[in-house]
Amino acid sequence: MKIINNIDEVRAQVKEWRKQGLTVGLVPTMGYLHEGHASLIDASHRDNDRTVVSDFVNPMQFGPTEDLESYPRDIEHDAALVEAHGGDIIFHPEPSEMYHEGFSSFVDMTVLTEELCGLSRPVHFRGVCTVVSKLFNIVQPDRAYFGKKDAQQLAVIRHMADDLNMDIEIIGCPIIREADGLAKSSRNTYLNADERKAALVLSQAVKLGMDMVRNGEKNCADIIGAMKKHIEAEPLAKIDYVKIVDCKTMQQIPELDRPALCAMAVYIGKTRLIDNFFTEDV
C-alpha cells in the first residue's frame, strides 16, 4: 500500500495497472476513516483488481462558516485501515495539488441539488461534483463507491456520471452504524458524552419512519410529522430538515407512490448530523 501525494504519480501507477489488464475501483473520502469507509474499500476490493482510496478534505465543498479547519485528520490511522482492507493506494494531495493557482472550472448541477442538504449548504454540491469529476479524470476507475449515508450525494454523482457520459459504474453501499444505531461519521468525534446520547434520536427517527412505511403508511406528512415529534423531544437536537423526496429527482413528494428517500439533517449542539432510509430498503 502506497501513499501518493501527486496527480502524475497516481496516473502513472494506474496506467501501469491498465497495461496489465487490471480493473480499478475508486473510493473517494475526506479521511479520518472508520468502518463506514472500510465497507466501501471492502466492496471495491471484492469487485476490482486494484483499489485507490482518495483522502482529501476538499475545501471547495465547505461553506465559509463550516468546519473545514476543525475537520479531523489522521493519515497514519487512515493508511493502516486502507492497508488492512486491501486498498492499494491512498491518494492524499495537498489542496494546492488539486486546485492550482488560477483554477476556474467547475462542475455544477441544478434540480437534484436544490433540496435537502443543497438548501442549507448552497456551495456544497458544486464542490463535490467538481472534486469527484477531477478524481474520476485522474484515476479513471472502472467503478466508484459511495455510501448511502450521503444519499443525496450518491444521487447527484449518479446523475452527473449519466449526464456527462462518464464511463464509470457508480456503486451505492449500505449505511454502517454503531452498535446503538448511530450512523458512523467522522463528525461523531465532535460530540461530547451528552450529545453522543442525544444523537441517537436520528437513528431512532429513521427506525420509526421505516416501521410506519413497513406498516403501509403512504402519507409523507404523517411519517415526517411522527419523526419530527420524536426528534423535537430531545432538548439538544435542532432539526435542519426531515423530508421525503423522489429517489431520482430529489424533489419532495406528498405520497409514497414511487421509490423514495426519507432524509434528515439535525444539529446536535453545534454538530450537524445526517441520516436517512430508502423506502426500497424497508
Place of cell 404523517: 222
Q: Which of residues 151-210 bind ligand AMP (CB under 6 A)?
A: 173, 175-176, 183-186
Binder to ligand AMP among 56, 146, 190, 278 (CB under 6 A)? Answer: 146
User: Nine-digit cell at 133?
Assistant: 469529476
268 is a contact residue toward ligand AMP (CB under 6 A) = no
Active site residue 100: no
> Which amino acid is located at 54 in the chain?
S
143 is a contact residue toward ligand AMP (CB under 6 A) = no
Piece of the chain touching ligand AMP by CB under 6 A; list 37-45, 64-72, 75-83, 269-277: 37-45
Query: Of the two residues 176 and 256, which places its CB atom closer to ligand AMP in the complex?
Result: 176
Q: How many C-beta atoms lie closer than 10 Å to residue 104's C-beta?
A: 5
Q: Nearest approach, Cβ of 43 to ligand AMP (angstroms)? A: 10
Which residue among the candidates 34, 37, 92, 230 is catalytic per the annotation?
37
36 is a contact residue toward ligand AMP (CB under 6 A) = yes
- Measured CA to CA, the distance from residue 191 to residue 200 in angstroms comes to 12
85, 92 contact by CB (below 8 A) = no
Query: Of the two residues 37 and 124, which places its CB atom closer to ligand AMP in the complex?
Result: 37
> For binding to ligand AMP (CB under 6 A), which residues are involved?
29-30, 36-37, 39-40, 146-147, 149-150, 173, 175-176, 183-186
**What amino acid positions are annotated as catalytic residues?**
37
